[in-house]
Amino acid sequence: MIPKLHSASRMTLTLITASLLGACSSSANPPLAPLGEEKKTKTEVLEAGAAMLQTDSPLEPMNIYLDGFHASKEDPVHQMEAHHFCRQVNQDFAQCVLFDGNTRQANLIGIEYIISEALFESLPEKEKKYWHPHNYEILSGQLVAPGIPGAAETELMEGKMNSYGKTWHVWNSAPFGATGDRMPLGEPTLEWSFNRDGEDMPGLVDQRDQRMGISTSEKRRQRAELKALAKPQSGVDALKGKFPRPTRDLPGVVDKKAASLK
């Protein structure tokens, strides 16, 4: 999920790297603890030994931290915050593990793959229905990289414009406004992005902003310049009309099919 830093100065790159590799700006503890007994001393000793000896881990490069929101594609009022820890595999492809918090106690709740517009367009048509668009998440200010200065974060988001994500949740641990499950139950759920103002449930974004000291509205203002980069995307209208509240379009966020009919 690291963007193309075409014109980024070395100082900007340093700011991004230092912020992402450092501690999270605000702790978000998981909402519940899984069922099961406390760890035994033997287990903790084995973990400590593994940490010292098994150092070549695929998790180590997953040091890009992003925070955003998902809605179930089947049931759009089922919404939750998701903490993404990502690795940029190459310029067009990234992979993320998703948690319900950003502390050591957080529960693993899913995965997300991120691809560029070019890779998305190379997919078979029947596959594209699984991939949600990202422009609203970026332009609305809802997708954030905690701890990064505003200018550097805007530059980070620039490289994500017009990208797509394929997200599966495997644990309903932190649904907004409801009690989560203490075990990963049932089938995986395909998640979607918000694509209009008013699709998110009242309080969902505000709760995150208050806890992390973030202003989504300010980030929206800072990212207004990115609107010029936005192209019509597939999937913007996939959930149109399926939310209980009235919604409003955000300039720059346009469904590709609808745009082709104009």
**First CA to last CA across the chain, in angstroms?**
32
Give per-residue pLDDT as tens, 184-224. Answer: 999 999 999 999 999 999 999 999 999 999 999 999 999 99
Strand partners, 108: 99
At residue 61, the pLDDT reads 79
Q: Are strands 64-72 and 79-90 parallel, antiparallel or unpaired?
A: antiparallel
157 close to 148: Cβ distance less than 8 angstroms:
no
Contacts of 115 (CB under 8 A, 6+ apart): 92, 93, 94, 131, 163, 164, 165, 166
pLDDT band, very low/low/confident/very high, at 31 (cuts 50, 70, 90): confident
Give per-residue pLDDT as tens, 78-113: 999 999 999 989 989 999 999 999 999 999 999 999
| 43 pLDDT above the threshold of 80 | no
Out of 43-52, 102-111, 167-176, least confident range: 43-52
* pLDDT number for residue 46: 52
Average pLDDT, the chain: 86
| Percent of the chain at pLDDT exceeding 70 | 82
Residue 151 has a pLDDT of 82
The pLDDT value recorded for residue 8 is 42
